[in-house]
Amino acid sequence: MEKIELPEEYPRKEWKIMQGVHMTQACVDNWENVDVFQVRSDDLFIASYPKSGTTWISEIVDMILNNGDVEKCKRDSIHNRVVMLELAGIKTMLPGTELLSKMPSPRLIKTHLPIQLLPKSFWENNCKIVYVARNAKDVAVSSYYFYSANKLHPHPGTMQEYLENFKAGRVSFGSWYDHVKGWWEKRMDLPILYLFYEDMKEDLRREILKVVGFLEKHLDNDVLEKIVRHASFDVMKDNPMTNYSLIPSILLDQSISPFMRKGVSGDWKNYFTVEQNNKFDEDYRKKMSGTTLCFRTEI
Ligand code: A3P
């Protein structure tokens, strides 16, 4: 993929390493405020490794909290309804910490941080977290296309180069392997609902009901069916409040790759060569040995 020359404002800045984790500069610029950010006990965190279905689950949670009222969920773009804690460094947007500090409770907070980098006050508040995870191969492909379009990130290079960096954790928010395992290990100690993208693809209604139970809500059946329809890939792809079309193309160039790209499980098969797949599997076995966490790479 060809590299694109950018105006000064949104260059593809180099990585910053935060406690051993690769981060884009936009997520490190405001670190002193992220670190001391005041979590409230009624905050709801939506946490994930990038490209795992964060926007999907965010829309679902907002729909549940608004009892399936589509118009209410169109009050603003998803990145303003579920604000990303660590995001800063964009001239036209206030840092996540600042937006959130002005927001009334109960707040919905998005984060891609590995669990050990969460603000100190997170550990004192026992707030609920919905974590969504997706299999590594589909995340690798989805993130490759996303970073090709997103100017906050260093250019991903070729797919081959990117896969090597992905396996080594030289990608945004560091190692996928450490991220999914880190949050999985803490699910016994913290109120975490750990969901899988593949389960959502398999039976969205069932997974929405898990979220409803976790949030201690009750939904009538017709409301539930409305949420299932509203959260379908085709509806979210056409919805300007969820498809990121309100983000300036100078920052996210969706002519390179749309944010709502394909929304399927197993797309990696269209991109991995046999050799890349074998090497990926070999490395995966080593990195994921000793965990009870299991993923499906197709459904
Ligand atoms: P693809 O690039 O594989 O299409 P995130 O929100 O964490 O950045 O994740 C983005 C990925 O979730 C993209 O994957 C996107 O298409 C997919 N996605 C978003 N909404 C979806 C939906 N309603 N159904 C299925 N996949 C969805």
Q: Over range 54-76, report the average pLDDT.
A: 98
Query: Is residue 39 a contact partner of residue 113, using CB atoms and an 8 Å limit?
Result: no
| Selected catalytic residue, list 112, 153, 179, 230 | 112
Q: Is residue 50 part of a domain?
A: yes
Nearest CA to ligand 1 atom 22: 233
Which domain range does residue 204 map to? 16-287
Quote the pTM value: 0.96
CATH number, domain of 119, equals 3.40.50.300
Residue at token pair 């709502």: 260
Instruction: From the CA of 146, give the closest atom in ligand 1.
Output: 2
Q: Is residue 3 part of a domain?
A: no
- Number of independent structural domains in the chain: 1
Is 22 among the residues known to form the active site? no
Model confidence band, residue 18 (pLDDT cutoffs 50, 70, 90):
very high
28, 12, 38: which is closest to 256 by C-alpha?
Answer: 12
Ligand 1 pocket mutation pick from 46, 52, 55, 73 by most atoms within 8 angstroms of CB:
55
Q: Is residue 167 part of a domain?
A: yes
Distance 168 CA to ligand 1 centre (A): 23
Q: Is residue 274 part of a domain?
A: yes
Q: Is residue 4 part of a domain?
A: no
Distance 142 CA to ligand 1 centre (A): 8
Q: Is 213 helix (H, G, I), strand (E, B) or coil?
A: helix
Q: Which two tokens stand for residue 248?
A: 């300036």
> Using one digit for the tens of pLDDT, what is the confidence trace for 241-282?
999 999 989 899 999 999 999 999 999 999 999 999 999 999
Return contacts of 121-124, CB within 8 angstroms, 24+ apart.
Answer: 121/36, 121/37, 121/38, 121/39, 122/39, 122/45, 124/39
> Using one digit for the tens of pLDDT, what is the confidence trace for 163-189?
999 999 999 999 999 999 999 999 999
Q: Is residue 10 part of a domain?
A: no
Q: Over range 29-35, report the average pLDDT.
A: 95
Nearest CA to ligand 1 atom 2: 142
Pairing of strands 128-133, 192-196: parallel
pLDDT at 6: 44
Q: Over range 22-46, report the average pLDDT.
A: 96
Distance 53 CA to ligand 1 centre (A): 5
Q: Is residue 93 part of a domain?
A: yes
Q: Is residue 8 part of a domain?
A: no
The mean of the pLDDT values for the chain is 95
Distance 199 CA to ligand 1 centre (A): 13
